Amino acid sequence: MKNSILVLDFGSQYNQLIARRVRDMGVYAEVVPCNISIDELKSYQPIGIILSGGPSSVFAENAISIDPNIFNLNIPILGICYGMQLTAHLLGGKVEKGVKGEYGKSKFKILKPCKIFENISEESIVWMSHFDEVVQVPYGFEIGGKSSAEIASFFDEEKKIYALQFHPEVSHSEEGSKILENFVFKVCEALKNWKLTNFLDEEIQKIRDKVGDKKVILGLSGGVDSSVAAVLIHRAIGDQLTCIFVDTGLLRWKEAEMVMQSYGEYFDINIIKIDAKERFFKKLEGVSDPEEKRKIIGHEFIAVFDEESSKIEGAAFLAQGTIYPDVIESQSIKGPSAVIKSHHNVGGLPKEMNLKLLEPLRELFKDEVRKVGLELGIPHELVYRHPFPGPGLGIRILGEVTPDKVEILQKADHIFIEELRNADWYDKVNQAFVVLLPVKSVGVMGDERTYEYTAVVRSADTVDFMSATWSKLPYELLENVSSRIINEVKGINRVAYDISSKPPATIEWE
């Protein structure tokens, strides 16, 4: 931990992505609140500090700030976006409200060489997302580069303080990873001494210390996240863990049978199956709002666990496979990040429940979770199964959820996944599914008029699920999928393909 980089969280959607990029270099990184005290910060003994971006403005009332003494600790600092503006503001530079802002891809030109720009092209494409801009650097600092803004970077090599207006952590910044590497290794002089096995050893010990002799109940869905969480917790506390698999009626085609069979074959874990289909459908009657659906499903899920926990003597914890993209989209985890939507295992939890939460994967991205799963010995076909949202098909059926609609969607989704596997495309994309729209259109089948639902096929390519592009599937594959769904699924007469990226869209429709 003494070789660590601290990321101060000012609420950027990408703050944990910064930490992930650093971890990928073999250096431990951790996200901490931006209002951390100097004494607590020093207790980490970091070799470098990164100030994240954020949605705020240094001019806003109650603007988020930090103790200026952080710049006197003789610890290398890199300010990103809001972190750059705050650095300028606190050290005597000048920040002004922008006229039009700078968003998306932009051309960055290096004006003055420095350590973080070593072996970086003089001009490159970077990812911008800011409105305010720095118009004067602090005394003693030099302008490092420009974009459409005259000052897109500044630095003081002697003080080892650097600032970037763009986001080097996102893949859209062509040489962003190299810039971060330069900061981590050339400026902070970090050693490559961290890997996921370190995380495993530490998390297993944390679980043991937190749980003690109590029992843990885990909501097992059969998806990657809950599977990895289950095996990790079981590795730590053994039979103190009981997994509860709830058939909500909102699962994929024959999901319940697959989950019980897979876990019976691969894992020696206590599993209880609960059939709660009627209970969930009744609660969802007449409900169309996506947030309300998510919260109803989440509340009902927890209610089931509360009921079951009363039957298990000593049960004190509810374990979940929550991962970081769930958290960052649902609430501000350590800083003032913008809420995008609630996830049933994050924002949908009731304020009061009888069980304490245990979420060992909460700070990991999907690709890191998969690596942990392989380290734990989980079979490849389960680890690399496409993710499935906690609320299930409840958020893939737009509008009211009914048993009939679920059956229609299950069949359509099964056909899509089957065709992806047949065409050897399943492992080439990261998430694929079908959405059922509350829209009917006219069609013709066998010379007869039809008036049926529209299905939307969605396939996304992504590394961390924080950003994604739509999959460029072959036309022949899409044609086969469309033909089979329309001909084999009664209730659908039109199929569309979603070609939206994230952002601005999310991967799921609700």
Q: CA 24, 29, 35: angle at the middle one, nearest 5?
A: 145
* Residue type present at position 99: V
Please check whether residues 334 and 456 belong to one and the same domain. Answer: no
User: Highest mean pLDDT: which of 200-204, 396-400, 467-471?
Assistant: 396-400
Tokens of 128: 């911008």
Torsion sign, CA atoms 273, 277, 279, 281: positive
Q: CA 228, 233, 235: angle at the middle one, nearest 5?
A: 95
Please check whether residues 257 and 314 belong to one and the same domain. Answer: yes
Q: Is residue 507 part of a domain?
A: no
Mean pLDDT of 164-183: 92
Q: Would the pLDDT of 473 be above 80?
A: yes
Question: Strand 448-461 vs strand 431-445: parallel, antiparallel, or unpaired?
Answer: antiparallel
Please check whether residues 84 and 128 belong to one and the same domain. Answer: yes
Coil vs helix vs strand at 271? strand
**H/E run at residue 104:** strand 102-110
Q: Is residue 296 part of a domain?
A: yes
* Residue type present at position 202: E
In this structure, the number of other CB atoms found within 10 A of the CB of residue 20 comes to 23
Say what percent of the chain tops pLDDT 90. Answer: 56
Q: What is the pLDDT of residue 340?
A: 39
Q: What is the pLDDT of residue 325?
A: 67
Q: What is the pLDDT of residue 2?
A: 66
Residue bearing tokens 């199964």: 385
Torsion sign, CA atoms 317, 323, 325, 326: negative
Q: Is residue 392 part of a domain?
A: no
Q: What is the pLDDT of residue 347?
A: 41
Q: Would the pLDDT of 306 be above 50?
A: yes
Please check whether residues 350 and 207 belong to one and the same domain. Answer: yes
Please check whether residues 94 and 175 belong to one and the same domain. Answer: yes
Q: What is the pLDDT of residue 373?
A: 93
Question: Of 126, 127, 125, 146, which is closest to residue 135 (Cα–Cα)?
Answer: 146
224 annotated as belonging to a binding site for a ligand: yes
Tokens of 187: 């400026």
**Which one of 354, 384, 414 terminates a domain?**
384
Q: Is residue 269 part of a domain?
A: yes
Please check whether residues 242 and 133 belong to one and the same domain. Answer: no
- Where residue 307 sits, what CATH number does that domain have? 3.40.50.620
Q: Would the pLDDT of 1 be above 70?
A: no
Please check whether residues 374 and 412 belong to one and the same domain. Answer: no
Say what percent of the chain tops pLDDT 70. Answer: 93
Domains of the chain: total: 3
Please check whether residues 212 and 288 belong to one and the same domain. Answer: yes
Q: How far apart are CA 269 and CA 286, in angstroms?
A: 38
Q: How far apart are CA 161 and CA 191, in angstroms?
A: 20
- pLDDT band at 389, cuts 50/70/90? confident
Q: Is residue 309 part of a domain?
A: yes
- Where residue 141 sits, what CATH number does that domain have? 3.40.50.880
Q: What is the pLDDT of residue 478?
A: 97
Q: Would the pLDDT of 137 be above 70?
A: yes
225 annotated as belonging to a binding site for a ligand: yes
Q: Would the pLDDT of 314 be above 80?
A: yes
221 annotated as belonging to a binding site for a ligand: yes
- pLDDT band at 352, cuts 50/70/90? low
Q: What is the pLDDT of residue 92?
A: 92
Q: Is residue 159 part of a domain?
A: yes
Q: Which domain holds residue 412?
A: 402-497
Q: What is the pLDDT of residue 155?
A: 96
* Residue type present at position 333: I
Q: Name the least confident of 5-9, 219-223, 375-379.
A: 219-223
Please check whether residues 163 and 99 belong to one and the same domain. Answer: yes
Q: Would the pLDDT of 38 be above 90?
A: yes
Tokens of 206: 């944390």
**Which one of 187, 222, 252 terminates a domain?**
187
Residue 389 preceded by cis peptide, ω within 30: no
CA distances for 77 relative to 6, 44, 74, 158, 422, angstroms: 10, 15, 9, 12, 50
Q: What is the pLDDT of residue 447?
A: 62
Q: How far apart are CA 314 and CA 217, in angstroms?
A: 10
Residues, the chain: 510
Active site positions, annotated: 81, 167, 169
Mean pLDDT of 404-408: 97
Tokens of 488: 């084999």
Coil vs helix vs strand at 407? helix
342 annotated as belonging to a binding site for a ligand: no
- Identify the residue with better confidence: 348 or 139: 139
Phi, psi values for residue 459, rounded to 5° = -140, 130
- Round the average pLDDT of the chain to a whole number and report it: 88
Please check whether residues 364 and 410 belong to one and the same domain. Answer: no
Q: DSSP string of 209-269? A: HHHTT-EEEEE--SSHHHHHHHHHHHHHHGGGEEEEEEE-S-SPTTHHHHHHHHHHHH---
**Which one of 153, 187, 221 terminates a domain?**
187
Q: What is the pLDDT of residue 396?
A: 96
Question: Strand 77-80 vs strand 102-110: parallel, antiparallel, or unpaired?
Answer: unpaired
37 annotated as belonging to a binding site for a ligand: no
Q: Is residue 379 part of a domain?
A: yes
What is the pTM (predicted TM-score) of this model?
Answer: 0.69
User: Highest mean pLDDT: which of 63-72, 153-162, 436-445?
Assistant: 153-162
Please check whether residues 229 and 138 belong to one and the same domain. Answer: no
Q: How far apart are CA 174 and CA 168, in angstroms?
A: 8
- Where residue 420 sits, what CATH number does that domain have? 3.30.300.10
176 annotated as belonging to a binding site for a ligand: no
Q: Is residue 394 part of a domain?
A: no
Q: What is the pLDDT of residue 328?
A: 57
Please check whether residues 379 and 301 belong to one and the same domain. Answer: yes
DSSP 157: T
Could you report the per-residue pLDDT of 315-339, keeping only the tens digit for each? Answer: 899 898 888 767 655 544 445 444 4
